[in-house]
């Protein structure tokens, strides 16, 4: 398999002179594949789908300019309102 991706210029500058970069990247990818296998065994498809949906929502909120602190304050207010009724 071959992968092509863009590396930001500031990162490129820091990579110059690393003679075994290909080996390091391959090792990193191998470890990531192993971690992903563990995650798949540990977490159900439903749990992974919930996390993926949450990540998408956070990204959409970020793009829309939502203030995370204000969103958390609203969540806290709603949570408190619900728990007070229990």
How is residue 48 written in tokens? Answer: 């992974």
State how far the Cα of 82 lies from the Cα of 68, in Å rounded to an integer: 21
Domain ranges of the chain: 9-85
Q: Contact at 8 Å (CB) between 15 and 7? A: yes
Dump pLDDT digits (tens) for 13-57: 999 999 999 999 999 999 999 999 998 899 899 998 999 999 999
Q: Whole-structure pTM over 0.85, yes or no?
A: no
CA gap 21, 15 in Å, rounded: 8
pLDDT the model gives residue 15: 93
**Nearest-angstrom CA–CA distance, 50 and 43:** 11
Question: What is the pLDDT averaged over residues 2-20?
Answer: 91
Q: Hey, how many other C-beta atoms are within 10 angstroms of the C-beta on 61?
A: 13
CA separation for the pair 33, 24 (Å, rounded): 14
The DSSP call for residue 60 is: H
């Amino acid at each position: 398999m071959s992968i092509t991706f863009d590396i930001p210029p500031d990162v490129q500058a820091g990579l110059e002179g690393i003679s075994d970069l290909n080996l390091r990247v391959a090792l990193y990818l191998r470890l990531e594949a192993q971690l992903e296998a563990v995650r798949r065994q540990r977490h159900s498809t439903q749990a992974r789908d919930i996390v993926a949906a949450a990540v998408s929502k956070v990204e959409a909120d970020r793009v829309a300019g939502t203030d995370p602190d204000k969103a958390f304050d609203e969540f806290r207010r709603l949570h408190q309102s619900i728990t007070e009724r229990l």
